[in-house]
Amino acid sequence: MYPFEDVTKEFSVSYEAKELDGYPVLKAEPFTLALTYHKNHLMDFQGEGNVVLSIPCDRCLKPVSVTVPFVIDMKVNLDTKQDEDHEDVYFLSEDELDVDLLIEPEIQMGIPMKVLCKEDCKGICEKCGADLNEGPCSCDRSEAPTPMAEALMKALQNSH
146 domain-assigned = yes
Same domain, 128 and 80: no
Same domain, 33 and 64: yes
68 domain-assigned = yes
Domain ranges, residue 160 = 122-160
Same domain, 90 and 131: no
DSSP state, 145? Answer: P
Q: How many domains does the chain have?
A: 2
Same domain, 73 and 130: no
Same domain, 82 and 130: no
Same domain, 141 and 82: no
pLDDT at 96: 84
Segment-wise mean pLDDT, segments of 10 residues, the chain, 160 residues: 73 93 95 91 92 96 96 90 84 85 94 95 88 86 68 75
56 domain-assigned = yes
Sign of CA dihedral 42, 48, 52, 58: positive
Query: Please, what is the Cα angle at 67 between 65 and 71, to 5 degrees?
Result: 160
| Confidence (pTM) | 0.76
